[in-house]
Each structure stands twice: as C-alpha cells, then as structure tokens.
Amino acid sequence: MAIIQLISDFQSGSYKIGLLHSQLLNTLKGVDIIDISHDLRLQNIVEASFVLKQLQNPENQGMVSIVRIGSNFRSIIYQHKNNWYIFPDNGLISLVFELNKNDVFYTFENEHLADVVKRLLQNDLGKLTKINDIVLKTQKKPMVHEHMVVCERIFTDPHGNCYFNLTKDLFEENFEKGRFNAKIQYIRDANFYEIYQDYNDVDQGVALLMFSKTGFLKLAINQGNASQLFRIKEDTKITIQKI
C-alpha cells in the first residue's frame, strides 16, 4: 500500500484538510494517508523543517510527502532516497536537505495535485517540468564561541516542550559532562548543569534539558509546560557556557 504523508499550516479543523483528503482519495486507490501535522505556525518554514527532519522514512519505499506551508508558491518536486517530496518553493527544501548541484527538481502547471501524486507513485515523470531556479535559504545555526554556544528555539510541541537548534553531536564536541551552565534568555535563576535521559530522572514539576530521539536539545518539564513557565518565544535563546 502506498503511503502519503501530509504536513501543513492549515490548522486543525480547517476544511482544507478534508478537501485535500477528498482530492487524493478520489484519484488514488489503495493508499494510506497519514496526517503528520496541520498545526504549524502560518508560513513558518523553520518549524516545518524541524517536523520533516523528525520523519524517519524507510528508504526505497516510494512514499510521497506533501508539504503545504504558506500560499501562492509554485510546487517543487524532489526525490530523496526513492521517496518523493512536494514542497512549496519558499526555501523550505534547503532547510530540510543538504542539496548539491546534481540534484534534480521538478514542478507542474495546470495539473491537479492528486494526478501528480498518482504519476509519482507510478514513477511517471513525463509531464513534469525540470527547473533550476528554486528558492534557497540558509539554516540558522547555533553561534559557537570559544567557551560558549548560543542556540535558538525552532519548535514547540503541543505539550509545551521546546526544541532548540543545538544537536547532541555539537554539544558533545564543546562540553564535558557536568562542566557547563545553561541559561534561558531573560530568565533569572534558572540554571541547568546536566543533560538528562528521561523525564522521570527529575521530580514532577522540575524543568530539565535533554536531547530528543533525533538529537535536538529539548527544554521540558516533568508533567508540566516549559513553554508557558519560561515564556518561550519564537526566537528565545539558550546560552551554554563552560565552567
């Protein structure tokens, strides 16, 4: 059974979600449609790129991921490890994948999305148009100094867990266990000296830092909402210093 994944900023309850389902199911037979998320902030490609990076799609499955973030953008079709992705041409693709000059991109005009997906599943690229002039953006990376790293919030989930653009590999390159102090921007008397493995490593209501399964720094509270408690905003930063 073919799998189609949907990600958008339509927001839960929008008629657009049902309309997209209807269009796909009326054209495609024997497909499984998975709604990954429709609650991304409007036109927020940083959040969208984070969600896409969490998808651990099996290679060579021929899956199709449809991403709708923003409006009035042409669509870009891109194949990665034999899975297909349909992005808006707003720079999102360059925040998700490390592109190179040999990559091939397609677009389509005057054709229904469902018909395009059907042909992708059949590996029929005949009516697609190759393009080279796609929008590219540079992903915001942590600021690394000699004794300090500054990272920025990139996503907040519905439970108030906040994710930052610091990876576990970069953290371990710069800091030793128990020899750092992490502080949240504008929040006094909230210091973190340890990275935990699990929520239950701290008492209920206690804040902690940990790394997500895909390796991003996460600020959380055991049975609490870190985003609300610490008033985390879209560009809130965490500063980590060696001690």
Q: Looking at the predicted structure, is the pLDDT value of residue 1 above 80?
A: no
The CA–CA distances, whole Å, from 95 to 165, 170, 171, 228 equal 12, 18, 20, 27
How many other C-beta atoms are found inside a 10 Å radius of the C-beta of residue 175? Answer: 20
> Is the same domain home to 203 and 91?
no
Helix or strand run (H / E) with residue 8: strand 2-8
Which residue, among 74, 83, 68, has the nearest Cα to 121 in the 3D structure? 83
Q: Looking at the predicted structure, is the pLDDT value of residue 232 above 70?
A: yes
> Is the same domain home to 153 and 87?
no
pLDDT value for 60: 67
Interhelix angle 15-27/113-121, rounded to 10 degrees, is 50
pLDDT value for 114: 95
> Is the same domain home to 59 and 158?
no
| Domain's final residue, options 78, 107, 131 | 131
> Is the same domain home to 31 and 111?
yes
Q: Looking at the predicted structure, is the pLDDT value of residue 220 above 90?
A: yes
pLDDT value for 109: 84
pLDDT value for 110: 81
Query: Domain with 111 in it: what CATH number?
Result: 3.40.50.10790
Arithmetic mean of pLDDT, 197-202: 95
201-217 pLDDT, tens digit per residue, is 999 999 999 999 999 99
> Is the same domain home to 114 and 68?
yes
> Is the same domain home to 89 and 195?
no
Mean pLDDT (the chain) is: 93
Phi/psi for 106 (5° steps) reads -125, 160
58-97 pLDDT, tens digit per residue, is 776 789 999 999 877 899 999 999 999 999 999 999 999 9
Containing structural domain, residue 30: 2-131
pLDDT value for 61: 75
Residue with the bigger pLDDT between 140 and 15: it is 15
43-52 pLDDT, tens digit per residue, is 999 999 999 9
Q: For the chain, how many residues are written? A: 243
Burial environment of residue 10 by CB neighbours within 10 A (0 to 12, 13 to 18, 19 or more): buried
pLDDT value for 57: 78
